[in-house]
Structure 1
Amino acid sequence: MNFTSEERIGSILAGYFENPSWIVEEKESGVNNTTRYIRMDGELYVLRIYENHADEQKAAFEHAVLHALGGAGLPFAVPQPCLSREGGTYVYSADGKLAVLFRYIEGERARLDVPEVARSAGEAVGQLTAALQQVRIPDAPAYEPYYDIYNVHPLVSRKVLWDWLDEMGGTGMGEAAECVRTALTALEQSLPELLRLPVQLVHSDIVYGNMLASGDEITAVLDFEFVTPDWRAMELGVFLAELFPPDSLGSPEAEEACWQAAERALEGYGRAAALTEAELQALPQLVLLRRLVLVPHFLGRSLAGVEAGDRAAYYLAGFAKIQRLIAEQGLRLTALAERYIRKEREA
């Protein structure tokens, strides 16, 4: 049976309210799930309909982390799920989609290309890292760490990924495909050393769309769907990768603006958190790993029919750009990190 968008939303809201009367407002939303902004009884809510999965365990793990962070005294907001009429934190739509309702958090999408905002955002990443270090969730994590790259998406095994790279090599993207093959081999070889890095819960997806700001200050960090144990420094690696978007790479002026934002972000991070020498040295690799993971992630979404096929190709080309940047200027990133971030003694 096919349901209209209105019928689906109505069936979800009925799990939270008796006889709800609502309207949908148009605002920005993410790329992995369906997000709708719901105005009801003078209040604004954010409705997330999960497209990646319908796994209660994954939602429960995410919501347990959010509950813990809600009492951590962070200087910015994190989402808190509304309770359903049955007392849970999620419901199902009439067509079987897992869904969660959050109260709307005020703020504008953070402009991370603005150095002052990047500094505040970097500090928020450090503050969140420190807070998550204290969070203990007894349940099994819902997602694999970044370095488990052949389990990033259930449809993309090692063979599927390497076969696809061979196919892309015959479409004029041979150089980009070879960059990814080289990076995959390097990751496999460096894993024994990298696995010594400190591990804790990380957000895993701190990007511009998941941070809100008022002026230069970060007011909220959103979308904890992918929270999972991983290398502690991976959080900063993910965030730094966001500061070097593919469309800015290749232009000296645009790249220098990215470096200015990255320096301010590292300065901010250093105000709130410390890393070991090994973590500081690994940052260029972690930036690459973030971009590398996007290739199998979007390939899997394409194979699952929830993403256009050219999105995986876009991230394939984007990885080649960031690999070139890190090859040429990775030492600059390490030097900036060591300038601003305090060194923690190795365990």
Structure 2
Amino acid sequence: MNCKFDEVIQHYFEDTEYTLRAVPFGLTNSTKVLEINGQRFVVRIYNRHIKTIEGIELESQVTALLAGAHTSFQVPNFLNTREGEKYVVLRDGSLAAITTFLEGKLPQLSDLERAKKFGSLVGEFSSEISVFPMEKNVYRGTSFTKMYEIHPLANRQSIRAFFASIPFEISEELFTFYQTMITDMENSNLDLEVLPQQFVHHDLLIYNLLAQLDEITGVLDFDFIGMDAAFMEVVISFNHMIQESGGSLEMMEAFLQGYSVKRKHSALEISYLPLLTQIYFIAVLHFYIGQYYAGATIEYNFAYMLNQFERNMNWLEKHDSKVKQLLHKYLV
């Protein structure tokens, strides 16, 4: 594998000594940290099933926009190759790129103040990226609402085949829950087209953030950037907060307090919280199914997300009245 990384580096730097080291992230792509000329960079060889040239170009354009804005956070910048490109096409057809390295560590969500800071970061990100142009000729990525297009190997037929013969054990209860959720979603009479649209990160979880001195300073992993309902961004991070806080209403309120300083939404958008939650989890599960057909081991991640899906939907139903109250109090 290092031979492929060496091939990438040759497109960016003249012959010189360098070292490569492994990273504790990069489940979707092959990623290493490059140390060269006293500097550090991130080298990424993209998953051939889910990254296209249009996708890399969109990612580089979005990160360039954010890097040029006066935000409280940094994003990785794409380096130019020696030929002036933002990416490399390797001999085997894989796509690769080198970006800047950002310092920091995983943020903690251990108290109300940190939950509020997380909410503020999500609100700021959503607000800043909302100005990205939406011309018809701009590649828009994949909306999570297109859950049968989230991965090229996960269409209706392959997903049906997966559930007809699941390659690992899941309970009958969880299987039935998934079937109920996707049926409810597909039979929903709510019109997603009426919701405001913008580019969405789709993965603003603490695992894709960096912190320094107890402040969130970096946003990573733009693999799933795409046009979607603007409210989807906060729905995803809100569900992440449910999981990380153990369902603490106090932590959820702190998150919304922070978010509301940077971003607001309409009562119509808020009414779509349950449906967008269903869409989010189903899209992620379908992505994992696509990864399974691509040869990846998905059992742990698939089971984790399916269990979280059930817990979160139960939590939202149990606290429906309070959640609606908080959302209208802070976001409208």
Per the normalisation by structure 2, the TM-score is 0.91
In 1: Cα distance, 2:151 partner to 2:175 partner? 19
Q: Which deviates more, 331-340 or 232-241?
A: 331-340
1:17 — aligned with what?
Answer: 13
2:264 — aligned with what?
Answer: 274
1:251 — aligned with what?
Answer: none
In 2: Cα distance, 1:140 partner to 1:173 partner? 43
Paired AA for residue 17 in structure 1:
F
Structure 1 residues 175-214: aligned runs within 5 Å: 175-190=173-188, 192-214=190-212
In 1: Cα distance, 2:45 partner to 2:85 partner? 16
Summarize the Cα distance change of 1:154–1:26 in structure 2 as closer, same or farther, 3 Å threshold: closer
In 1: Cα distance, 2:301 partner to 2:125 partner? 30
Return the match for 2:237 from 227, 236, 239: 239
In 1: Cα distance, 2:321 partner to 2:3 partner? 54
Summarize deviations over 1:118-160 as a string: whole Å, max 9, x none.
2112111111111111111554435321111111122222233
Return the match for 1:77 from 62, 74, 99: 74
Contact 2:208 2:219 in 1 (8 A): yes
Summarize the Cα distance change of 1:28–1:262 in structure 2 as closer, same or farther, 3 Å threshold: farther
Structure 1 residues 33-112: aligned runs within 5 Å: 33-51=29-47, 52-112=49-109
Contact 2:148 2:155 in 1 (8 A): yes
1:119 — aligned with what?
Answer: 116
Contact 1:39 1:45 in 2 (8 A): yes
Name the count of aligned residue pairs: 330
Contact 1:302 1:312 in 2 (8 A): no
Return the offset for 1:200. Answer: 0.8
2:222 — aligned with what?
Answer: 224
The alignment partner of 2:148 has SS state of helix
Return the offset for 1:171. Answer: 4.8
Which ranges in structure 1 are unaligned for 5 or more consecutive residues?
A: 249-253
Which ranges in structure 2 are unaligned for 5 or more consecutive residues?
A: none
In 1: Cα distance, 2:150 partner to 2:68 partner? 31
1:329 — aligned with what?
Answer: 319
2:152 — aligned with what?
Answer: 154
Summarize the Cα distance change of 1:145–1:256 in structure 2 as closer, same or farther, 3 Å threshold: closer
2:286 — aligned with what?
Answer: 296
Paired AA for residue 308 in structure 2:
G
Contact 1:141 1:229 in 2 (8 A): no
Contact 1:113 1:261 in 2 (8 A): no
Q: Which deviates more, 189-198 or 102-111?
A: 189-198
Summarize the Cα distance change of 1:34–1:113 in structure 2 as closer, same or farther, 3 Å threshold: farther
In 1: Cα distance, 2:193 partner to 2:226 partner? 16
Return the match for 1:130 from 111, 127, 130: 127
Return the offset for 1:268. Answer: 0.7
Q: CA RMSD in A?
A: 2.3
Structure 1 residues 301-316: aligned runs within 5 Å: 301-316=291-306
In 2: Cα distance, 1:161 partner to 1:73 partner? 43
In 1: Cα distance, 2:60 partner to 2:309 partner? 32
Return the offset for 1:289. Answer: 2.6
In 1: Cα distance, 2:165 partner to 2:34 partner? 43
Return the offset for 1:96. Answer: 3.1
In 2: Cα distance, 1:294 partner to 1:54 partner? 16
What fraction of aligned residue pairs are identical, expressed as a percent?
26
2:27 — aligned with what?
Answer: 31
Summarize the Cα distance change of 1:7–1:118 in structure 2 as closer, same or farther, 3 Å threshold: same
